[in-house]
Structure 1
Amino acid sequence: MKNKVYDSAEAALEGILFDGMTLAAGGFGLCGIPELAIAAIRDAGTKDLTAYSNNAGVDDFGLGQLLQTKQIKKMGSSYVGENAEFMRQYLSGELELEFIPQGTLAERMRAGGAGIPGFYTKTGVGTVIAEGKEEKQFDGEAYILERGIVADLAIVKAWKADTTGNAVFRKTARNFNLPAATCGKICVMEVEEIVQPGELDADAIHLPGIYVHRLIQGDHEKRIEQRTVRESKS
């Protein structure tokens, strides 16, 4: 079996990156984002990226770093509200944006990973989301056709994995990481801990290692997007 474990994000991405590629990234806000891979892509200078992710992080962290360096040409996202640079580039015409309902985005990734080229959904019917898309009637209801996403590269973050890539996500950090991982032609996964095969409970595996091509262990900042605390009563 080919060794999947690499020493760094830079090493894991070597020979994979190219200008104009399509990227699927896990995470929700700053929760469970593949921060090491994002930083490595930034440093590599890969440009004209089409990135599919729930959002683009914040201005100076997550995918927001790739927006700051103008490496992303098009974003496919559900939400832009926490990233001022994201909004600025879109409103000024510097960035192409495909708004995708959150559930539709997750299903488009899942479908791409499952080899399903498209599916029909009621979400977005009668709105700008439906513009230019095929519409079909099922049982008297209108549905629009959405295409599955197949990315050149998926970058994801898990909690633990064994050396074959079997992975466990931690609580809400599972979010978009699971469908993103499956839809990449190549998947690079970063984790907090790598263990030996057999050390993870087989019934607790969230992502089978067959989807993971390259694996790294590293230290993560895990920045909090919005910190809310209660005032002291003293």
Structure 2
Amino acid sequence: MKRATVTHVGGTPDARPAVSSRLLAEAAGTFVLVFGVVGAALLAAAFDDGRGGLNVGFLGVAFALGLSVVVGAFAFANVSGAHFNPAVTVGLAVAGRFPWRLVGWYVIAQLSGGLAASTLVAAVAAGGPGDLLAGARASGFASTGWGELSPGHFSLLSAALIEVAATCVFVWVVLGVTSPGAPGALAPLAIGLTLTLVALVAIPVSNGSFNPARSFATAVWGGGVAMAQLWMSLAAPTVGALVAGATFRPLFGRRLRN
């Protein structure tokens, strides 16, 4: 397939591999992200009810999210740009940093990789003690949302606001650290730490997604309530990404290359 020029987490635009390779990398990177965060949330966050200090809790899930992006970015940034998130792809496109003609293909790859990861976690949970998989599905399978899907039982408005704001901040950081002149070698670390930060704030409110692919992947296994609330977890991060992409140039005053 035709080659194109795309800005990636390493910094300035570069000659990119074939589109097919980029899509595979996006699927693989999103798989790593969803496997890391959902696996931590369902298999390790409340392990053995906390006995023996082996569970990781909210803090561990937030770090799992950040670390999964860091390792995925280092592994795949030179292939696809390491978006791993439809909101990031949309935000970059709005800011003129990614071609719109590839947005749909990237989103399909990200959704596919995320669903493969959540399915693997479900398969692992099926071999767990007792009714681990049934319990995970009954509790929403780490899906994002409000009310009963919110760890703190926050409202729809609260969950939507935190997802919009956190995604906006995250996409601002992605745009900033991948701009010309930014220290590109540190971009994966900065992006991963930002995700950890916003997750620490958002997990009690919405269960912390900022990523429609991650939300879709868990909602498929999370049952009726998770599927019914999925629209918020798709719409709110997209709105946050649109705001970030549209405001980045005037807010930071950068001359960004297309």
TM-score, normalised via structure 1 length: 0.23
Higher strand share: 1
Higher RCO (CA < 8 A, seq sep 6+):
2
TM-score, normalised via structure 2 length: 0.22
